[in-house]
Structure 1
Amino acid sequence: MRNLQGRLDLCSINTATLGHREPLSRTIERIARAGFGGIAPWRREVEEGDVALFARQIKALDLTVTGYCRSTYLPAATSAEFNANVESNRAALHDAAVLGARCFVMVVGGIVPGSRDLEGARAQVIDGISMLMETARDCGVPLALEPLHPMYAANRAVVNTVAQALTICETVDPDRTGLVGIAVDIYHCWWDPELTASIAAAGQAGRIMAYHVCDWLHETGDMLLDRGMMGDGVVDLPAVRSCVERAGYDGLVETEIFSAQNWWRREPDEVLAICAERLQTVC
């Protein structure tokens, strides 16, 4: 396992960690000034401005774009709505290419409102990913499926384990072209008793495209907006990273924390300083 001490160049900050409280250009500057090597911007921030200007700023500050967050949900009640969701993701892939993103993070969506068709939603996800592969190839930006914790299966993601995501990758991309892979986020997968084996299998298939860290608090107060800072919760972070890196992942370690009642209320530079300290000491 790599030693992160003194190696913030191997670490990235997902802009959600700072709570989307400032213009993206200011957030980019803060992250670079704090010494991190990478950034993962969110679409809502990028789409509020000029993607080309953001791309030039990121490049000038020598930051790696570890991922572009995130996709439009795929499952829909009608064919027209489904096709519109696919087209939205195609447009985002073009922006990801301008940014030079290493991957486009796919949070695939939940069950269609008013429906109970879980398998149908998962079938739409497979169809949508298949339809996006040509654009991913043209843009040079692979799709990174991010399995979410099962508590999100209804409304955010019907892909819930690394093994399930790997099965989808192998289904839509049996030739392992590098166009479809997995974003491993410890918040969503730390609990999985098959995690070690699943990560090893994903690594063997060359599918691990991103690795996201935070922590799971022992008493989580909100399933979406109460993620913990690394070291404040129950996850054995070094063990998970060791597993991911043994599987062949050599990309940046990306911090992504949603924390409406804690970290989003603190000064951004304080948050970045604590992220830097924790990445180097407990991850």
Structure 2
Amino acid sequence: MNTPPSQRLGTGTPRLSLNRWSFRTTPLQEFLEITASHGVDAVGLWRQDVEEVGLDALRRRVDDAGLRVSSLCRGGFLTAAEGTARAAALEDNRRAIDEAVALGAPTLVMVVGGITQEDKDIAAARARVAEGIAELAPYAESAGVTLALEPMHPMFTADRAVIATLDQALDIAEGTGSAAVGVVVDTYHVWWDPALAQAIARAGEGGRLLGYQVCDWNLPLAAEPLFSRGYMGDGYIDFPAITRMIAATGYTGDIEVEIFNEDVWATPADEAARIIAERFEQLVLPSA
């Protein structure tokens, strides 16, 4: 029996994976077909895709398109203090791990969660994240899935992630004692960090660099700052420099392009894919 594409290493555009949310408004099947037509053989999927078409059907569509899944987004949101909410969050993350297994995704991206206006104790929220990740790690390890903690820009601390730096994420990952927990470097969120080079090296030395995602930091910021991500080269991020940091660790995995931008979403998907591949080959791949 032939191994399905989602379980094989790719032979298409080197290292490039297209994240589903770079094409958020494009119908799923069209996104998969356009990805394949541009010689890209990997996609980063979201759990919303599972909800839309069902887990088995999504896996079949990916395989039929000749693609594989580089990561699944997202798990996390582990900052709840109340017992019932915490139990529900842990159970949802176990489901997310199961979905990653079914899709052949080696990594589940973890957006750890923010705080509430009632509970403004960031340190306590981070401690709860550490406890939750430690509890999930054995389940992920037994499933053969890695958990990639995603530090997010400090402006998202309140609502999305109480982890703002790569070092904070690595502290939690290392604290689990599990090889199944590591980090993903997303240029949009970490480019500003003066300790970035040392933190990336630390991730590499510890075997905890699980993913690399790229997009640019555009100005002016959109009304929803999360949508200020742009095509590489349109903003302020030095992609060759950061990519060289990543390459110095020995990382040879997929590099996902993840862009949340209403203008990009309004661009015909085929044209957006062409621009992404062109910018990737100009600004990222030569340093990878």
Higher share in helix? 2
**Is residue 16 of structure 2 the alignment partner of residue 11 of structure 1?**
yes
How big is the shift at 1:63? 2.2
Counterpart in 2 of 1:3?
Answer: none
Q: Distance in 2 between matches of 1:270 and 1:67?
A: 24
- Write the letter of the residue equivalent to 1:215: D
- Write the letter of the residue equivalent to 1:209: L
Counterpart in 2 of 1:78?
Answer: 82
- Write the letter of the residue equivalent to 2:100: A
Q: Distance in 2 between matches of 1:186 and 1:72?
A: 20
Higher share in strand? 2
How big is the shift at 1:53? 2.1
Higher relative contact order (CA 8 A, sep 6+): 1
Which moved further from structure 2: 238-247 or 24-33? 24-33
SS at match of 2:18: strand
Q: Distance in 1 between matches of 2:61 and 2:48?
A: 17
- Write the letter of the residue equivalent to 2:228: D
Q: Distance in 1 between matches of 2:141 and 2:206?
A: 18
SS at match of 1:41: strand
Which moved further from structure 2: 217-226 or 110-119? 217-226
1:48-70 residue CA offsets vs partner (Å, 9 max, x unmatched): 21212221332343323111011
- State the percentage of identical aligned residues: 40
- Write the letter of the residue equivalent to 1:123: A
How big is the shift at 1:75? 1.1
Counterpart in 2 of 1:228?
Answer: 230
Q: CA RMSD in A?
A: 1.5
Counterpart in 2 of 1:256?
Answer: 258
SS at match of 1:69: strand
Counterpart in 2 of 1:243?
Answer: 245
Q: Distance in 1 between matches of 2:40 and 2:212?
A: 15
Q: Distance in 1 between matches of 2:142 and 2:25?
A: 30
Structure 1 residue runs of 5 or longer lacking an equivalent are: 1-5
Q: Distance in 2 between matches of 1:183 and 1:167?
A: 14
Q: Distance in 1 between matches of 2:190 and 2:59?
A: 31
TM-score with structure 2 length normalisation? 0.91
- Alignment map for 1:1-283 (pairs within 5 Å): 8-22=13-27, 24-173=28-177, 177-222=178-223, 223-260=225-262, 262-283=263-284
How big is the shift at 1:133? 1.1
**Cα distance, 1:95–1:113 mapped onto 2, change above 3 Å:** farther
- Write the letter of the residue equivalent to 1:142: T
- Write the letter of the residue equivalent to 2:238: D
Q: Distance in 2 between matches of 1:20 and 1:74?
A: 28
Q: Distance in 2 between matches of 1:74 and 1:20?
A: 28
- CA contact under 8 A between 2:100 and 2:108: conserved in structure 1? yes
SS at match of 1:143: strand
How big is the shift at 1:113? 4.2
Q: Distance in 2 between matches of 1:31 and 1:196?
A: 32
SS at match of 2:212: strand
- CA contact under 8 A between 2:24 and 2:265: conserved in structure 1? yes
Q: Distance in 1 between matches of 2:55 and 2:248?
A: 35
- CA contact under 8 A between 2:12 and 2:39: conserved in structure 1? no
1:73-130 residue CA offsets vs partner (Å, 9 max, x unmatched): 1111411101101100100110110001120000000013421111111011011101
SS at match of 1:47: helix
